Amino acid sequence: MVTPVVPMGMAQVFGYVLKHHMRAYSFQAAAQNAAKKASGLKMTDMATDPRIFLSIDNCFASKRWTRPSEWIRLIRSMGVRFIEASADNECDPLYCSKEYLSDWIREVNEASLAHGAQIANVYSGHGTYSTLGLTHTDPRNREHMLRNWLKPMADIASGLSAGIGFYCHAFADAVLQDPAAYTEMEHELYGSLAEMAEYCAELGIPASGVEQMYSPHQIPWTVKGAEKLLKSVQAICGRPFYLTIDTGHQTGQRRFLKPSCDQIKEFARRIRTGQGAQSLPLWLGSSSAYRLFDELAAESGASEDERIEQLLQDFDRHPHLFAEYEDGDPYIWLETLGSYSPIVHLQQTDGFASAHRPFNAENNGKGIIDGAEVLRAIARAYGREHADGLPPRCAEVYLTLEIFAGTSQTNQAVLRGMRSSVDYWRKLVPQDGMNLSELISLLPNRREFE
């Protein structure tokens, strides 16, 4: 169980994290070390026109085409050279033996050479997504995830000369409800990510990063929160650490907007009078806020304003439970942080669920993801002024199709969805390695769903 602590200042926070991870330098020394290391980075924060590559995550092949020669051959037959290898497709260090993984790396490299493919990145899958992982309430499990999963995954990436992205943490509700415990666990996470960034840099891995999500218990889930995470990790270790933006991971944030006083009053009135309160659902954040609201709904008159003021104060004590409206817009994420996202996961979505649908005619007709607008939004990100404390801008971006296959889907249906997705995106990225400005110059002057 996490022991509540008094909220710390930033210098104390970083000092705590560094001490926890057995780092023997002070916060001031860490900051100096960060500046020194950052000055030697090969990637430059002056990058304004990245090279763009189309890639496929091989999660679609899980439990179907599992040998490296099978999924590499399939992906190459679709006209895609660059591949993201998912841990779900038989290379998860928690499930696979070291001997097997050693052979797996060899087989991947041999098949890549034989078919003219390249593993651009390795990525986590559902296995580690389903646990508290790096923010587990038991420190032994946090350490286990870092030592026995994340670092072995980095070893795999190094063996493939690939980058790495992952998501393997979540905050238990007891932590979310306690602001002090949340602050402690948040900085525990930053320390672990910094250790991972340092480890990846020592292995020569070109880029490492975490995926953005869309609910309070899985950070980063807001644009500001993502910026804070990137800055915090780099400040601790002096190594760049990046984000993966997913075009379907903005479907939850607008369920967690902070309500206005008028909305609170109206919701309470409907409950009090039995006039269908469910037609005006509100997110109030903490359990204590819901208890205060129950008291408000049972009362009226002079005490109403007092209860609302108490609610507003509770909101202020739990800012991590609320999003802004803009956090639910994939294009806002891309135009704000797209230059710090070396991997962009592509899925079609209707804006209500992250179903990882393919880009076929049916889904595109009702979807909100337009490829031309994705490219334009990323270009706007590179046109923004570089903010102090963020990692260097990415010189390369892998637009990576992350399409899920349903358990009962036939092989033929799965492959049709993949091929239609490649066809859609190949029109926008006709050749890998083209500069973003070149791709933008080829775009039509309108939104188009095909």
Give yes or no for residue 23 having a pLDDT over 50. Answer: no
435 phi/psi in degrees, rounded to 5: -70, 150
Question: Stretch 363-390: mean pLDDT, rounded?
Answer: 97
- Does residue 26 sit in helix, strand or coil? coil
Beta strand 343-346 with 242-246: parallel, antiparallel or unpaired?
A: parallel
Of the listed ranges 166-170, 213-217, 276-280, 428-432, the one predicted with least confidence: 276-280
Residues 6+ apart with CB under 8 A from 125: 59, 62, 86, 87, 88, 89, 92
pLDDT single digits (tens) 105-141 = 999 999 999 999 999 999 999 888 899 999 999 999 9
* Cβ–Cβ < 8 Å for 413, 358: no
Quick one: pLDDT at residue 27? 32
Q: Cβ distance 8 to 232 under 8 Å?
A: no
Task: Give the confidence band of 2 by pLDDT, cuts at 50, 70, 90.
Answer: very low
- List residues bridging with 246 in a β-sheet: 345
Q: Which amino acid is at 386?
A: H
Contacts of 169 (CB under 8 A, 6+ apart): 132, 133, 134, 135, 145, 189, 218
Name the H helices within 204-260: 223-237
Q: What is the pLDDT of residue 272?
A: 83
What's the one-letter identity of residue 105? I
E-strand ranges in 58-110 read 82-86
* Residue 277 predicted with pLDDT over 70: no
Three-class secondary structure of residue 166 per DSSP: strand
51-57 and 434-435 strand pairing: antiparallel
Stated pTM of the model:
0.89
Pairwise CA distance, residues 349 & 352, whole Å: 7
Give the separation between CA 266 and CA 269, rounded to whole angstroms.
5
- Which stretches within 238-329 are classed as H helix? 261-273, 287-297, 303-317
**What's the token pair of residue 42?**
């090969």
